[in-house]
Amino acid sequence: MNGLTICIIGAGSSYTPELIEGFALMRETLPVREIRLMDIDTHRLEIMEGFCRRFAAHMNFPVTITATTDRRRAIEGADFINTQIRVGGNAARVKDEKIPLSYGLIGQETTGAGGMMKALRSIPVMLDIARDVERYSPGAWMINYTNPTGLMTEAITRHTKAKIAGLCSGGLFPQQWTAKALGVPKESVRYDYVGLNHMNFAYNVTVDGRPITDAEFDLIADRVWSVDHDLIRQLRVLPSPYLQYFFHTTQRVKEMRAAPRTRGEEVQLLEKEVFAGYQDPEGHTKPEALKKRGGGGYSEVALSIMKSVASRADSWAVVNVPNQGTVRFLPDDAVIEAACLVNSSGIKPVAIGEVPRAVWGLVSAVKNYEQLAVDAAMTGDRRTALLALLAHPLVREYELALPLLNDLLEANREYLPQFFR
């Protein structure tokens, strides 16, 4: 590693400084000589370029930071391409939330009908990016945080030869919960991990190779947020917080409909505050408002993956990868979120113990929906999109799915040309 070239596509994201900070902190083990910021939003890109340069100087991080709206220029010759795009911005996210809620369904940006719309908008763009990576930097790895990351990874692995690591900071949660509950270093915690992005479960937890006791599991269960703790004790697995939308659907819909604003509307307000901080020419540290934005911490996973791929060091990480027999009840080409061994030879899922029977149905149903959604995004076929909604446990009813799909497609017409030929 004589100095890596990093490309960040979607660099106008408020999370970009987390990556800059991570590279600065890991400069001895992950040396970076150039960071290329790329975005189609020239205003946000200009703000982020100025802030990232001030931030790097503040950290005494000698790196070249450039900005461009030219995707080829950003990708060509790069070692890693970080993708964190949001097609349609937060305005589209608000529609993804509000339209399903008007039908009495979960309105959320990665789960349910709203998550499907984000996938339909994003997959064609992500495939274009992946094909550019194949063409202009074929040896590079894509490090993806564009949501829904599992569907992005599935589309790219099924339809291109680009190398991609689909990431989510949620894979670290069981490690963090265990470390806090038991007072142990998080690096000592390992577990079997089964499922999909935002539909996953950790089990067979160990600390320094020692299986935890039932009493220790109950302590860890108390650290999980959003899902009822007694339910977790019944399941005997640690669920993703996103399982709240499946296990507590009626209550969550009620809460969402009663809230004065959707999460997307809150984020729109927060980002005005965050970008005011980034735009301040005297500002050289991350704005305090960024802490309220949520979803942070992802750079920890991204940098760990890049370090292991670029060097000879092995690491353990949770990554979205093709199944290839890891979960026997899912197709081999289905992308799963799994504990993986990461090193210079690639990213490979590790073998897992017998999957708890209580989670088979949900994981299978949501993967059925995901594969249909990827097909719908590729073809623009309304029938396939309808079948995806019918397969999704959070939609399912035909009398809801049909008018809901029509409303969602119409609301996203400008981003979905494949459906309006």
Residue 294 falls within a domain, yes or no?
A: no
- Note the pTM of the prediction, 2 decimals: 0.96
**CB-based contact 273:212 (threshold 8 Å):** no
Catalytic residues: 242
Chain center to CA of 42: 24
Q: What is the pLDDT of residue 294?
A: 66
Q: What is the pLDDT of residue 313?
A: 84
Closest listed residue to residue 14, CA positions, set 307, 293, 418: 293
The number of distinct structural domains making up the chain is 1
Strands 4-9 and 335-343: unpaired
Give φ, ψ of 209 to 5 degrees.
Answer: 85, -5
Q: What is the pLDDT of residue 291?
A: 80
Q: What is the pLDDT of residue 421?
A: 87
Residue 356 falls within a domain, yes or no?
A: no
Distance between CA atoms of residues 102 and 361, nearest Å: 27
Contacts of residue 30, Cβ cutoff 8 Å, sequence gap at least 6:
1, 4, 23, 303, 306, 307, 310
**CB-based contact 347:321 (threshold 8 Å):** yes
CATH code at 106?
Answer: 3.40.50.720
Residue 191 falls within a domain, yes or no?
A: no
**CB-based contact 157:134 (threshold 8 Å):** no
Residue 131 falls within a domain, yes or no?
A: yes
pLDDT averaged over 10-residue windows placed end to end, the chain, 421 residues: 91 95 94 98 98 97 98 98 97 98 97 98 98 97 97 98 96 97 97 98 98 98 97 98 98 98 96 95 90 73 94 92 96 97 95 95 98 98 98 98 98 97 87
Q: What is the pLDDT of residue 295?
A: 58
Residue 209 falls within a domain, yes or no?
A: no
Residue 360 falls within a domain, yes or no?
A: no
Q: Tell me the residue ranges of DSSP E strands in 124-212.
A: 141-144, 163-166, 189-196, 199-207, 210-211
In one-letter notation, the amino acid at residue 1 is: M
What 3-state class would DSSP assign to 87?
coil
Identify the domain containing residue 26 by its residue range.
Answer: 4-166
Distance between CA atoms of residues 246 and 369, nearest Å: 14
In one-letter notation, the amino acid at residue 212 is: I
- Name the helix (H) or strand (E) containing 401: helix 398-411
Torsion of CA 391, 395, 397, 399, to 10 degrees: -120
Residue 399 falls within a domain, yes or no?
A: no
Residue 133 falls within a domain, yes or no?
A: yes
Distance between CA atoms of residues 147 and 83, nearest Å: 10
Q: What is the pLDDT of residue 177?
A: 98
**CB-based contact 205:178 (threshold 8 Å):** yes
> What is the chain's length?
421
**CB-based contact 321:166 (threshold 8 Å):** yes
Q: How much is the CA Rg of the chain, to the nearest whole Å?
A: 21
Distance between CA atoms of residues 228 and 242, nearest Å: 12
